[in-house]
């Protein structure tokens, strides 16, 4: 069942982040960061992030929600996990990169909280639904 739950996080989070980056990349990141952005995404690094990050949501948000039998922990702990993880990245960048702004930090941290909370909640419902079909819920 862990594989189902992992995929139930990976897919919604990946889709949400793809939409965010396609909309906000040209509006927020490119104007702020300019020429320090790569022309093409570093695919191995991006793949590593998208494979590793859902494990955090799984452990810290979805599993506690499944144990509690309520979506609340998935949403709340997922959002908290996202806020803290993105804060680590954003505040480190703000402390070390001249182009990184407070606006970028706050927007990105908020996005990390929203996307992670929504992915945690989606995975809770998907896992419960698939578990019900398999008789393991």
CA gap 51, 72 in Å, rounded:
24
Q: How far is CA 61 from CA 31, 80, 96, in A?
A: 34, 9, 30
Which pTM value belongs to this model? 0.93
The pLDDT of residue 9? 97
pLDDT lower than 50: segments of the chain:
none
């Amino acid at each position: 069942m862990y594989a189902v739950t992992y995929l139930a996080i990976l897919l919604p989070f990946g889709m949400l982040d793809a939409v965010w980056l396609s909309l906000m990349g040209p509006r927020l990141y490119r104007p702020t960061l300019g020429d320090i952005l790569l022309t093409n995404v570093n695919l191995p690094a991006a793949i590593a992030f998208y494979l590793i990050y859902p494990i955090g949501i799984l452990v810290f948000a979805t599993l506690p929600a499944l144990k509690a039998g309520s979506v609340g922990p998935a949403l709340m702990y997922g959002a908290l996990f996202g806020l803290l993880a993105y804060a680590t990245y954003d505040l480190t960048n703000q402390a070390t990169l001249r182009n990184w702004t407070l606006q970028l930090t706050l927007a990105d941290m908020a996005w990390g909280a929203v996307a992670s909370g929504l992915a945690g909640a989606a995975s809770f419902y998907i896992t419960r639904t698939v578990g019900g079909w398999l008789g393991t819920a």
